[in-house]
Structure 1
Amino acid sequence: MAAPRAFLHLIPLKWNWGERGFRDLSGVTTPEASHRGRRTLLQFLSDHFYDVEFLREYFLRKQMQKLHLENGSYIRVQNKYGPDIAGAYFILKHGGAVKFRDMEWVRSDEWRHFIAGVSKFQAVPVEAVDASGCAINYDGLGNLLSLKELRSLSLQRCPHVDDWCLSRLYPLASSLQELSLAGCPRISERGLACLHHLQNLHRLDISDLPAVNFPGLTQILVEEMLPNCEVVGMDWAQGLRQGPDEQPQDAAGPIPVEPLAPGSRQPLCNS
């Protein structure tokens, strides 16, 4: 005995892989069910990817807020202990290292001991900072601009150090002698041009800068801008000229040059 038609509508639909549609248990493919299934699938994909994009923007916004908070100004520490202690505290909190004059390096895992014995560092200036790989941005760099006797600064592989950050380094012009920008992905020729204030630099490392499009030309320009500085990290001949074997040629070979008619500037036309 066949099942009533009303009962068949209560049976859940099943995907028919062979006929690319939905069918019920009776074996009959229903176009309405197939169309409804496609709409449901498209709606699900639309909602799903919308949520993924929303979550991505949410986490990105949270990450930027965290970065902004971590790069805040240490005004209270500076007012209480001075700019050198505030700058050292900022670097140690970000995982870097600092060196006070005539003292050993203080690493990030020693910052608690540093805070406990801060009194012995209070009257000693910071002469070197290693912020390699630290999440320092434009705002956070302001915590280092008051280090009047800073001689060496390493910003290697800092992901948020860009051209705007380099434009803020001019307060360190009187003391800074060594600067490393190796591996910073956001530094380009425009930022390096801002270093013309640092005339006391003795060594500048600009190796592995992917945003620099013309390394050889940049090397020459920086050396002319800082004549007393040793610029390392780029090959001065890279990208300046190409040899005959490196010149681009057409796949079919060199293009033949047609002879010119006597007294004419136009090539001869083939008859």
Structure 2
Amino acid sequence: MAASLLSQAMKRCSAHTCAAVAVRRALSSGAATPSVFTRFLLKLSHYFYDVENILDWNNWLRSQAVVRKNRLFGYAQKNFGNNVAAAYYILTLRGSFRFAGQSEWFRPDSRGRFSYDFMNTPDAQIEEVDLSGTLINHNGLENLVKQNKLQTLSLRGCPEVDDWFLACLHVFGESLVELDLSHCTRITVGGLAALQNLRKLERLHISGLPRLQNPGLVRILLEEMLPHCQVTGVEYEQGLIQPDSPEQTEDHHEASTHTGLRQL
């Protein structure tokens, strides 16, 4: 194992050295002025051995961004209350919300900037939340657990929403009426089973979930588990085994008959 790792490291180092030498030769040749891209490659060669390290660095930065965006807003909760803290958390994620008893939606602009007028009603609880396409995860959900009047939650296309996140939604079991999980690529059947705790749920959207092998069957099971809930986004026949055509059935029957006669 150690020898294999050493061999891979030597190959990477060799490739890095060859690339650096090639770039330096291009810079030292007087045939033509090196391009901006060539000089950029030389600069990168000082910091990265290969493209894999660059991708790892990018993934690390993204994971840190997810952690930072989903931290608990404890200071805001302590000084301004749970409702203001929840509203601030939603807006920092570039989501939108509506307070109960109000028609106005609070949402940031295209640059992520927003008004702080929501702080004028610290006692108002949030009734509708749209976090579509945001980086919310189960840790960030802690900022919303005190919103016991939450009725509508849209998580359409949220890349960090997974089965564990769905298991944490039980805190809204007595209030949540509509839930949109469309295009959340990390959700599996196991996570959907946890929705049985949402006893007031009336509408559930589950289109575009690639980890569901039999979406039609999942819809049937969800409707049995939540009899008062309308499940949309998939058709009953999606993923189910289709019956053979009449011609195929007849041919199969004739073949079976001939086989039986030969055996007799």
**Which bin holds the TM-score, normalised by the shorter protein?**
0.7 to 0.9
Distance 1:142 1:220, change over 3 A: same
TM-superposed CA distance for 1:137, in Å, is 1.4
Which one-letter code corresponds to 1:228 in the other structure? H
Which one-letter code corresponds to 1:146 in the other structure? K
TM-superposed CA distance for 1:86, in Å, is 1.1
Report the Cα distance in structure 1 between the residues aligned to 2:140 and 2:246, rounded to whole angstroms: 45
- The structure richer in helix per residue is 2
Distance 1:166 1:259, change over 3 A: same
Q: Deviations over 1:54-75 (max 9, x none)?
A: 2211221121112111110001
TM-superposed CA distance for 1:256, in Å, is 4.8
Query: Any idea what SS the aligned residue of 1:185 has?
Result: coil
> Is the contact between residue 12 and residue 50 of structure 2 (CA under 8 Å) also seen in structure 1?
no
> Is the contact between residue 125 and residue 149 of structure 1 (CA under 8 Å) also seen in structure 2?
yes
Aligned-pair RMSD on alpha carbons? Answer: 3.1
Distance 1:193 1:248, change over 3 A: farther
Q: Deviations over 1:12-48 (max 9, x none)?
A: xxxxxxxxxxxxxxxxxxxxxxxxxxxx999336876
Query: Which 4+ runs in 1 deviate beyond 4 A?
Result: 45-50, 110-113, 246-249, 253-258
Paired residues for 1:176-191 under 5 Å: 176-191=176-191
* TM-score normalised by the chain length of structure 2: 0.74
TM-superposed CA distance for 1:193, in Å, is 0.4
Paired residues for 1:158-237 under 5 Å: 158-237=158-237
Report the Cα distance in structure 2 between the residues aligned to 1:197 and 1:56, rounded to whole angstroms: 39
Report the Cα distance in structure 1 between the residues aligned to 2:14 and 2:196, rounded to whole angstroms: 57
Distance 1:47 1:243, change over 3 A: farther
Consecutive unaligned residues of structure 2, counting only runs of 5 or more, are 1-10, 20-47
Deviates more, 1:217-226 or 1:253-262: 253-262
> Is the contact between residue 205 and residue 232 of structure 2 (CA under 8 Å) also seen in structure 1?
yes
Query: Any idea what SS the aligned residue of 1:165 has?
Result: helix
TM-superposed CA distance for 1:112, in Å, is 5.9
> Is the contact between residue 184 and residue 209 of structure 2 (CA under 8 Å) also seen in structure 1?
yes
Task: Name 1:79's counterpart in structure 2.
Answer: 78
Query: Any idea what SS the aligned residue of 2:57 has?
Result: helix
Question: Which one has the largest radius of gyration?
Answer: 1
Which one-letter code corresponds to 2:160 in the other structure? H
TM-superposed CA distance for 1:235, in Å, is 0.4
Which one-letter code corresponds to 1:130 in the other structure? D
Report the Cα distance in structure 1 between the residues aligned to 2:176 and 2:235, rounded to whole angstroms: 24
Consecutive unaligned residues of structure 1, counting only runs of 5 or more, are 1-39
Give aligned-pair identity as a percent.
37
Task: Name 1:120's counterpart in structure 2.
Answer: 120
TM-superposed CA distance for 1:212, in Å, is 0.9
